[in-house]
Structure 1
Amino acid sequence: MSQQFILKVSELTKKVKYILESEMNTVWLTGEISNFIAASSGHWYLTLKDSKAQVRCAMFKSNNSKVKIKPANGQQVLVRARVSLYEPRGDFQLIIDQMDDAGAGLLQQEYDKLKAKLSAKGYFSQQHKQALPSTINTIGVVTSPTGAAIKDILSVLQRRSPQTNIIIYPALVQGQEAKFDIVTAITEANKRQECDVLIVGRGGGSLEDLWPFNEELVVDAIYQSTIPIISAVGHEIDTTLADYVADLRAATPSAAAELASTNILDIIDKTKQLELRMLRQFTNSSEKHHSLLSNLQHRLRRMHPEQYIITQQQRADDLIGRLTNAQQNKLNILAVPQQLLTQRIHKIPLHFDLAHKQEATKALHLRLMDAIKKQHENKQQAFVSTLEQLQLVSPLATIARGYSVTRNELSIVKSITQVNENDTINIQVADGNINAKVLNTSGQ
C-alpha cells in the first residue's frame, strides 16, 4: 500500500471527530440517564440509553449550571447536543449544551415552533394591537369561576373601582378541554359586545398547567377579537403565547384588574380638581365681567353731554385766568421807567473791574514763571548730584585709577583656577582692551 494512505491512530480519530462535528452538527434526542457522575471539576458525565442503544455524554460546567432539573439515573430527559469524538480513547460521545425533563422539554420545543410560526404570520405585530378605551364601564373576565384568579380580580375591582360592571365568562383553564372552553368564551364575549375590555387568564402553574394558553386555537381567538384583550396568565415569570398576541399583557390577574380599572379615589380627586377649576373659572369670569361693566359705566359718564359741557366750561375759565395774568405781567414790565434802567447800567464800573482783573492775571503769570524756573533748577541740581554718586561707584572710574578687568571666554577672571596655560584672555584698561596669552600662573 502506498505510504500516503497509512494513518496514525491519532490522525484517524482527529479526522473522524472533524467529520462528525462538521456533518452532524447539533441534534435533539431523548433518552434515559444512566452512569451519571458529577465530577469535582463541575462537569457531568453520563450515558443516554433506550431499549436498543446507548451513547456516552458529557456536559460541561458552563452549560450544566443553567439546567433547571436535578438529573438522576433512570430519569427521562430531552437534550440538545453536539456529536463528537473523545480522541484519547476513540470513543463516540455527545457534548450536551441543554437539558430538560423529557415532558417539559418536548412542550418547550412545541412552544418555540408554534411561536415562530405565529410570529411569521404577524400575530404578535404591534400594529395589530388595540389600545384600551379611555373609559371602561364594563370588564369581561374569561377564567375559571372557582379559581384564585377571579377572586383576585374581584378583590382588586371592589377596592379600586366598585362602580365598574363585571361579566364573568366561565371557562376551564387547565386540561385537554380547556382550549375549547376559552375559545368559546372569547367568541361569546365578542358576539354579545357587552364589555369594553376582556381579561383572559388564570393563576400560576407549571408549563403543562398553562399549556391551554399556548394552543393555536386560543391564540387565534385572541387575535381575531374586536374587544381589546388583557392577558393575565400565571405569575410574572410565566410567559405564554396568549401574552404575545394580546393587546396588553399583565404580570398577574390582579395587575390586569388594575390596568383595566380606574381607581375610584383618583376619580374623586379628579372630580374635586375639576370642581375647583370650574369655581376658579367662574370667579375669574365674574370678576372680568364686573371689571368690564365698571369700565363701561366710567366711559359712559365721561361721554355724557353734561360732563362734556362742564369740562369745556372749566377749560374756558382756566384760559381766561391765564390770559388775565399774562396781560397784567406785560403791563408791569412796560411800566418800569427807562431812567432806572440807565442808572443801573451806569452804576456798574466795567473799566475799573477790567483793569483789576488784568493786574491780577499778570501777577499770577509772574508767580508761575518763578515756580517753573525754581523747580527746573532743583531738578538739574539733583541730576548732577546723582551723576557724581554714580561716577564714584562706576567700575570705569576704578579702571581709570589704574586698575584693569580680566576676562576669559566665559566670564570675569577672579581666580587663577579659572585659567590654564596658553589660554587667551582679554584685559580691559582705561583707554581700551588688551588680548594676551597665559604663560603660567602662581599663587600668593
Structure 2
Amino acid sequence: MSSAPEADILSPSQLNTLARSLLEDAFPLVWVEGELGQVTRPASGHLYFNLKDARAQVRCAMFKPKSSWLKFQPREGLRVLARGRLTLYEARGDYQLVLDHLEEAGEGALRRAFELLKAKLQAEGLFDSERKRPLPAHVRRLAVITSPTGAAVRDVLSVLQRRFPLLEVDVLPSLVQGDAAAAQVTAQLRAAAASGRYDAILLARGGGSLEDLWAFNDETLARAIAASPVPVVSAIGHETDFSLADFAADLRAPTPSAAAELLVPDRHDLAQRLQVLQQRIFRAQTHRLAAALQRGDRAWLRLQALHPQARLQNLRQRQQEAGRRLEALWLRQQEQRLARLRHAAAILRAAQSDRRLAVLRERLQALGARPQAAIARRLQHDALQLRGLARSLEAVSPLATVARGYSILRKPDGSVVRSVSQVDAGERLQARLQDGELKLRVE
C-alpha cells in the first residue's frame, strides 16, 4: 500500500501570510469605481467601507492621515473612484483594498480627462513659456470676454474704472458655463484677435466646481488662445482653480479683479511719475539755458575785445597809466633829491661854507633839469608809438575805407550786403558814408 506524498503543514496564520504575499506581489496599483456601502469612521480616524456594484462588493480601508485629506464627506450610496493595492486582512482571512486616493466618480472622470488633455497639449509645446507673448507696457483698448451679467464683469469694470479710467473697454458677451460656452468663448476670442482693435484680451469667470469651469478646458479654445496674435490674460475661477485656458494664456491671474490690476497701472502712481519727469525736464532745461547764456556772455566779451575802438581805448588807458606811473616815479625821486639837498644845506649852514653851498646849488640846478628831460623823452616815445598803433588800426578799419569814398550797405537787421543776390526789389537798406548814413530802397 502506497503512502500519500509528504507536504508542509501550515498554520492558518502562515497560510494567510503566504496568501497576503501572493496578493500584494501579483496585483499592481488598481483603480476601482463603485458605490459606497457600510461607511464607518472610528475614533482612530481610519475609514472603512465596502465598494459594491450590482453583483459583488470589496472591503476597503483608508488609513489616517490620507482619510483626513478627502475633499468630500463619504456617505453610503455615493459613487466614487478609488485607487489602492490588494492585500489580506489576516485576522479575518478576508482580502481588502488599502486605498491612498478616493474621489467622487463624476469629478474624477473629468479630472482624468483634464490630465490627459493637459499632457497632450503640453507635449506639443502649447504651454511653453518661450511662446508666450509679453503684455504691452500700456494697454489702450481691452476686450473682456465673459458673461455680461456675472459678478466677474462687475469686479473687472470696477477695478479698471478706479485704477485707470482712460482705458477703452469692450465687453464681448459669451456663455461661460454649459455645452455651448466653449464654442462661444472661442468665437469671440478669434473675432477680437482678428479685428486688430485690441492691445490685450481678458477671459474672465467667477469661481465654481470643476464641472462649472469645464468650458475653459476645451481643446479648441486652448489652441485658439495659443494662436492668438493678441496677448491673452486668463482669470478663471479662484486662485486654486486651474484650467487649460490658464496654461495656454500668456498670463494667468488668480481672480478677475487681480487680472484688472495687472493689466492697467494705478492713475495715482502715473501722476507721481509724470510729476517727477516734469521736474527733471524743468531742471534740465534750466541748466541748458544757463549754460547757453554763459556761452553767449563769453562770446560777447570776446567780440568786444576784438573791436578796433575797444583796442584803441585799451591802448589809450595803458598810455595814461604809464604816464601816471612815470610822473609818480619822478615826484618820488624829486622829493628824495630835495630831501638830500635840504640835508646837505643844513650841513653846509652848520659848517658856514659859502663855497660848498654854491657848488651844491649848481648841482641842484643841473639835477633839476635831468628828470624833466627824461619825462619829455618818454612822453614823446609813447606818443609816437600810440600814433603808429592808431595808423595800423585805421588801415584795417572799415571807416578808413569809407573815408576814401566807399560806403557800407546794411540790411535793417544790421547784416552787411556783400552781393546783389542778398537783396530783393523794394527792400530797404542803410548806406554808411564818411559823414553819416543814408536810407535807400532797391529798385
Is TM > 0.5 for Structure 1 vs Structure 2?
yes
Counterpart in 2 of 1:133? 136
Larger Rg belongs to: 1
Matches of 2:220 and 2:47 in 1, distance apart?
Answer: 41
Counterpart in 2 of 1:221? 224
Counterpart in 2 of 1:212? 215
Report how many residues are paired: 337
Matches of 1:25 and 1:308 in 2, distance apart?
Answer: 112
Contact 1:222–1:242 under 8 Å retained in 2: yes
Pairing partner for 1:202 from 201, 205, 217: 205
1:4 Cα shift?
A: 6.3
Code of the residue aligned with 1:212 in structure 2: it is A
- The answer to whether the aligner puts 1:283 opposite 2:275 as a matched pair is no
- The answer to whether the aligner puts 1:24 opposite 2:31 as a matched pair is no
Counterpart in 2 of 1:156? 159
Q: Pairwise mapping of residues 120-269 of structure 1 onto structure 2 (< 5 A)?
A: 120-269=123-272
- The answer to whether the aligner puts 1:33 opposite 2:75 as a matched pair is no
1:3 Cα shift?
A: 5.0
1:223 Cα shift?
A: 1.2
Q: Secondary structure of 1:65's partner?
A: helix
- The answer to whether the aligner puts 1:112 opposite 2:119 as a matched pair is no
- The answer to whether the aligner puts 1:298 opposite 2:301 as a matched pair is yes
TM-score, normalised by the number of residues in structure 1: 0.68
Matches of 1:284 and 1:60 in 2, distance apart?
Answer: 78
CA 13–324 in structure 1, closer or farther in 2 if over 3 Å, else same: farther
Matches of 1:329 and 1:271 in 2, distance apart?
Answer: 73
1:42 Cα shift?
A: 1.4
- The answer to whether the aligner puts 1:92 opposite 2:95 as a matched pair is yes
Matches of 1:310 and 1:9 in 2, distance apart?
Answer: 136
- The answer to whether the aligner puts 1:76 opposite 2:114 as a matched pair is no
Q: Secondary structure of 2:23's partner?
A: helix
Q: Secondary structure of 2:130's partner?
A: helix
Matches of 2:332 and 2:161 in 1, distance apart?
Answer: 97
| Greater Cα shift, 16-25 or 171-180 | 16-25
Matches of 1:325 and 1:281 in 2, distance apart?
Answer: 55
Gaps of 5+ in 1: 331-444
Contact 1:179–1:218 under 8 Å retained in 2: yes
1:323 Cα shift?
A: 10
Matches of 1:165 and 1:325 in 2, distance apart?
Answer: 89
Q: CA RMSD in A?
A: 3.1
Deviations 1:268-294 (A, max 9, x none): 333333333332222222111111111
TM-score, normalised by the number of residues in structure 2: 0.68
| Greater Cα shift, 59-68 or 254-263 | 254-263
1:252 Cα shift?
A: 1.1
1:7 Cα shift?
A: 4.2
1:15 Cα shift?
A: 3.0
Matches of 1:291 and 1:327 in 2, distance apart?
Answer: 45
Contact 2:222–2:245 under 8 Å retained in 1: yes
Contact 2:126–2:226 under 8 Å retained in 1: yes
CA 12–121 in structure 1, closer or farther in 2 if over 3 Å, else same: farther
1:143 Cα shift?
A: 1.0
CA 321–11 in structure 1, closer or farther in 2 if over 3 Å, else same: farther
Contact 1:138–1:165 under 8 Å retained in 2: yes
Counterpart in 2 of 1:383? none
Counterpart in 2 of 1:410? none
Counterpart in 1 of 2:384? none
Code of the residue aligned with 1:106 in structure 2: it is A
Q: Secondary structure of 2:100's partner?
A: strand
Contact 1:160–1:263 under 8 Å retained in 2: yes
Contact 2:246–2:252 under 8 Å retained in 1: yes
Q: Secondary structure of 2:65's partner?
A: helix
Counterpart in 2 of 1:63? 66
Code of the residue aligned with 1:82 in structure 2: it is R
Code of the residue aligned with 2:277 in structure 1: it is L
Matches of 2:227 and 2:88 in 1, distance apart?
Answer: 51
Counterpart in 2 of 1:401? none
Code of the residue aligned with 1:284 in structure 2: it is H
Contact 2:153–2:204 under 8 Å retained in 1: no
Matches of 2:21 and 2:131 in 1, distance apart?
Answer: 48
Matches of 2:25 and 2:309 in 1, distance apart?
Answer: 114
| Greater Cα shift, 272-281 or 69-78 | 272-281
Deviations 1:387-413 (A, max 9, x none): xxxxxxxxxxxxxxxxxxxxxxxxxxx
Deviations 1:45-93 (A, max 9, x none): 1111111110111111121111111111222111111222222332111
Share of identical aligned residues, percent? 41
Matches of 2:268 and 2:21 in 1, distance apart?
Answer: 70
Contact 1:167–1:195 under 8 Å retained in 2: no
Matches of 2:104 and 2:224 in 1, distance apart?
Answer: 30
Matches of 1:38 and 1:222 in 2, distance apart?
Answer: 46
